[in-house]
Homo-oligomer: A and B are copies of this chain.
Amino acid sequence: MLKFEAKIAAALLLAASQSVMAFETLPAKPPVPADNPMNPAKIALGKQLFFDPRLSVDGTVSCNSCHNVMSSGTDNRPVSVGVAGQKGGRSAPNVWNAAFLSVQFWDGRAASLEDQAKGPILNPIEMGMPSADEAVQRIRAIPGYVSQFNAIFGGKEAVTYDNIAKAIAAYERTLLTPNSPFDRYLKGDKSALSAQAQQGMKLFEQTGCTSCHSGANFAGPAMQAGSGFYQKFPIYQNNDYVSKYNLMNDTGRHNVTKNDADKNIWRVPTLRNIAVSAPYFHNGSVETLDEAVRVMAKTQLDKNLSDGEVADIVAFLDSLTGEFPKQTMPQLPPTANRTLTAK
Contact = CB atoms under 8 A, between A and B. Distances in A.
Interface string A136-170: 00000000000000000000000000000000000
Contacts of A257: none
A85 to B, nearest CB: 3
B78 A343 contact: yes
A339 B287 contact: yes
Interface in A306-334: 314, 318, 321, 324, 326-332, 334
A287 B337 CA distance: 8
Given A287-B338, A341-B77, A327 B324 contact: no
Specify the main secondary structure of chain A where it touches its partner.
loop
Contact of A327 (B72, B329, B338): B329
Contacts of A289: 337-338
Copies of chain A in the complex: 2
Contacts of A284: 339
Nearest to A285: B343
Interface string A67-111: 011111001111001011110000000000000000000000000
A331 B71 contact: yes
A326 B327 CA distance: 11
A7 to B, nearest CB: 33
A337 B288 contact: yes
A70 B275 contact: no
A312 to B, nearest CB: 14
Contact of A278 (B72, B332, B335): B335
Contact of A77 (B60, B68, B324): B60
A148 to B, nearest CB: 15
A304 to B, nearest CB: 21
Interface string A196-235: 0000000000000000000000000000000000000000
A340 to B, nearest CB: 7
Contacts of A324: 331
A289 B336 CA distance: 9
Interface string A247-284: 00000000000000000000000000001101100001
A71 B337 contact: no
B336 A275 contact: yes
A299 interface: no
B68 A53 contact: yes
Interface in A28-87: 51, 53-54, 58-60, 65, 68-72, 75-78, 81, 83-86
A126 to B, nearest CB: 13
12 contacts: A58-B81, A59-B75, A59-B77, A60-B75, A68-B332, A71-B332, A72-B334, A78-B339, A276-B336, A278-B339, A314-B337, A327-B328
Q: Lowest 9 CB-CB distances: which A-B pairs, in order?
A: A85-B85, A276-B334, A278-B339, A71-B332, A279-B339, A84-B85, A327-B329, A289-B337, A288-B338
